[in-house]
Structure 1
Amino acid sequence: MSILYRSDAPRAAAWADYFAEHAADLDFRVWPDAGDLSEIEYLIAWQAPAEFIAKLPKLKVLFSSGAGIDHVDFSAVPAHIPIVRMVEPGIINGMVEYVSLAVLALHRDFFDYVAAKAARTWEPLEVPPASSRTIGVMGMGSLGSAVLQRLAAYGFRLRGWNRSPRHVDGVESFAGPDQLQPFLEGCDILICLLPLTPATKGILNRELFSALPAGAALINVGRGPHLVDADLLEALDSGQISRAILDVTEPEPLPADHPFWAHPRMFLTPHVASMTQPETAAPILMENVRRHQRGEPLTDVIDRSRGY
């Protein structure tokens, strides 16, 4: 059985070491030292161009090296080949850490104190209890559910919105387009963790912002194309959105002349909220390969009709 890793080059050695130690019977190869591509049966990749997939006649499974799969061109992957998204503790823990940091920074006025320090101003602000703020998460999959469960420990009021009904203990849940506005009306801090699909592209727009309470804050850790940039700038300038923390943009990297860089109420990070960790991801992926070899159902296979 031949597996080809064609993803994050700096982490390739860790993947190779794990498979060498725990699955010596599997022929694990790292791009570009792929050997004969006609022998590859499993592909671990971030980008999988059509012309490359066409060179893999024996491909049985495509494993995305990240939690998202919006970068995969479904039409380039034959319908009989399962596409598996990465769901592993390293990705989940990283996202929980980042979102917790962002929520707490907003809740405790961290950015106001950064500005006050620059101005050499000593001006304590009121410290509201967590129970006075409502945090809303759009997308209640594995990442969104984990974020909600962690935020519950701080005592925030929590609500979640999903395409289809989902239940998380202690969370007021909303589902479907008809319940989006009622969900938004109560969110002091809105977190986008939606998958990127044609239905969610541009969902963070003027109409959505206007449904939030005046002065709400936005955290986008989904994908850059979820956001209509001009609409966010307008909402920030009007005060409808008080602050925005963005880990994702469109395009990436963000051009040096983009207005987000200079906006005083915007905080940017370069798509680092969560990353696949080889030490936790490799065992899960290897077990999925073993399941396939045994003829058992794969876990975390995406539904092509839904786009995630």
Structure 2
Amino acid sequence: MPTNVLFAAKPERWPMYEAPLNAAFAEVGIEAHLATDITAELVDYIVYAPNSTVQDFTPYTRAKAVLTLWAGVEDVVGNQTLTQPLARMVDDGLAQGMVEWVTGHVLRHHLGIDTYIHGQDGEWRKLTPPLAYDRPVTILGLGELGAACAQALARLGFPVTGWSRSEKSVDGVTCLHGPDGLHRALGSAEIVVLLLPQTPGTENLLNAETLPLLPRGAVIVNPGRGPLIHDDALLAALDSGQIGHATLDVFRVEPLPAGHPYWNHPSVTVTPHIASETRPQTASRVIAENIRRGEAGEPFLYLVDRKAGY
């Protein structure tokens, strides 16, 4: 008897995922009925995006797990109707995409590439940046994505400090944790990258009190979550020169409203939440493996800690 898998995401995602999911199910030996419309009480698993129309999980009495397509779960973890196990998306494609985006923008700021892109006015400007080992970088957040980015930058020669709320260890990275560790991590960072989850404990982590801890002229790169930064405090720090530039991929409201000050600020780069998209081919393999595990009575991968919020 086939395993009933409900695909609960925006309709435009269905053509992108139908074939890769079915192929992944076949690879792991699952006979699955995958569809966007299955009677609720017959659903065994829900492949889920938090912006889908499914917001009440109460009717899904047979569902063994909800498997998200997103790395972030802040939009679903507090849903009181969700009593099934919830697994977030962790996959190689997501990590590789984030590493490429973060590395590209760190190198862009390190090398001063904007000077040449925006300075084609006939003046011969020669800017010699320090070598990577003289440019300290801090990564805030040492989960799967943060650790991958930290190690990639360390391999390029940057002295990388990583900060997390709890103690962690990452090869090649100076790891700090807790409030005192945050002050030390920010104090040395000429470039700081935010890759923390959005929780009550991380909201407004960069604010009017913590931004001055950074060296004057430091660069902020945020592909994590918009609410990690207090917007007004960042704008004030940019205007004063305390922060030299901010490259922002995520925002409190998305799409970023047309009138938002970030759009026209000369020291802000806006990218439209593209740092790391979930790729159907790699994500489908993670989903299929978790369903295989569920059917075999094995532990699910990447289960969310509801109390921690990620």
TM-score, normalisation: structure 1: 0.94
1:263-274 aligned at under 5 Å gives the runs: 263-274=265-276
Partner of residue 302, structure 1:
304
Deviations 1:29-70 (A, max 9, x none): 13xxx0322211211112266753233222221111111111
Partner of residue 90, structure 2:
87
1:63-142 aligned at under 5 Å gives the runs: 63-79=67-83, 81-117=84-120, 119-142=121-144
- 1:66 & 1:246 partners in 2: Cα distance? 19
Partner of residue 33, structure 2:
27
- 2:80 & 2:53 partners in 1: Cα distance? 7
Partner of residue 223, structure 1:
225
Q: Find the partner of 1:18 among 16, 20, 27.
A: 20
The AA in structure 2 aligned to 1:82 is P
The AA in structure 1 aligned to 2:272 is P
1:1-308 aligned at under 5 Å gives the runs: 1-21=3-23, 22=26, 25-30=31-36, 34-47=37-50, 51-79=55-83, 81-117=84-120, 119-308=121-310
Would you say the 8 A contact 1:11–1:278 is kept in 2? no
The AA in structure 2 aligned to 1:67 is A
- 1:190 & 1:228 partners in 2: Cα distance? 15
Deviations 1:179-209 (A, max 9, x none): 1101111111000000000111111211111
Would you say the 8 A contact 1:116–1:122 is kept in 2? no
The structure-2 alpha-carbon separation of the partners of 1:125 and 1:19, relative to structure 1 and needing over 3 Å to count, comes to closer
- 1:180 & 1:191 partners in 2: Cα distance? 13
| Greater relative contact order, per chain length (Cα 8 Å cut-off, separation 6+) | 2
- 2:253 & 2:9 partners in 1: Cα distance? 20
Deviations 1:125-160 (A, max 9, x none): 122111110010000010011001111221111100
Would you say the 8 A contact 2:48–2:68 is kept in 1? yes
Would you say the 8 A contact 2:136–2:158 is kept in 1? yes
Structure 2 stretches lacking a partner, 5+ long = none
Aligned residue for 2:192, secondary structure, equals strand
Would you say the 8 A contact 2:225–2:251 is kept in 1? yes
- 1:229 & 1:19 partners in 2: Cα distance? 39
Deviation at 1:254, TM superposition (A): 0.9
- 2:198 & 2:99 partners in 1: Cα distance? 19
- 1:286 & 1:77 partners in 2: Cα distance? 24
Deviates more, 1:129-138 or 1:54-63: 54-63
Deviations 1:201-247 (A, max 9, x none): 11121111111111111001111111111111100111110000000
The structure-2 alpha-carbon separation of the partners of 1:10 and 1:224, relative to structure 1 and needing over 3 Å to count, comes to same
Aligned residue for 1:53, secondary structure, equals coil
Would you say the 8 A contact 1:216–1:243 is kept in 2? yes
Aligned residue for 1:2, secondary structure, equals strand
The structure-2 alpha-carbon separation of the partners of 1:307 and 1:24, relative to structure 1 and needing over 3 Å to count, comes to closer
- 1:129 & 1:51 partners in 2: Cα distance? 50
The AA in structure 2 aligned to 1:39 is L
- 2:77 & 2:282 partners in 1: Cα distance? 26
The structure-2 alpha-carbon separation of the partners of 1:299 and 1:251, relative to structure 1 and needing over 3 Å to count, comes to same
